[in-house]
Copies of this chain bind each other. A is one copy, B any other.
Amino acid sequence: MIGRLIVDSKCDVVYADDLVVGGKFALGSYTVTEQEVVEFAGQWDPQSFHIDRDFADDGYFGGLIASGVHTIAVCQRLSASTLYEGWSVIAGKRMRDVNFLRPVRPGDVLTGNLVVEDVVPDDRGRALVTVAAEILNGSGKQVLTSVTEMYMRCRPETD
């Protein structure tokens, strides 16, 4: 069911109306480096198990692990660069059930997919679109799952 998207060929913007509930999209891949793990966490999540290799080697996970916020950021980058750049997104409203299921480690090659769970139009020309994402490591195991609600534009009636 990958890519169950119906797009008006006359228009290269994907409106909420174009999304099909149950539609599933592959998100490409992203390689997480040790340098990026340390730099991201140094700026946004300065805890020893993210930024201090010696501390982390002796610690709970036996090595550095990426900040959960870093993993969320990778998920968003993959979603935006693969999909949202062409979608008529207005803004995110909510994330719920963001689960950090396994550690993300330097060298991990992350992939993922995104499923459209719901599309609810309102009377302001928008729709609240719910998408569920999963991010997998190189072993195909889930490292992150999340559900995001965002507002998108519906197709203008004059289109």
Contact = CB atoms under 8 A, between A and B. Distances in A.
A134 to B, nearest CB: 14
A91 B65 contact: yes
Interface of A: 43-49, 60-61, 65, 67-69, 72-74, 76-77, 80-81, 84-85, 89-100, 103
A97 B146 CA distance: 11
25 contacts: A44-B73, A44-B74, A44-B77, A44-B80, A45-B73, A45-B80, A46-B81, A46-B85, A47-B84, A47-B85, A47-B89, A49-B89, A49-B90, A68-B92, A68-B95, A69-B72, A72-B72, A91-B100, A91-B103, A92-B100, A93-B99, A94-B98, A94-B99, A96-B96, A98-B98
Q: How many copies does the complex hold?
A: 2
A100 B45 CA distance: 20
A41 to B, nearest CB: 8
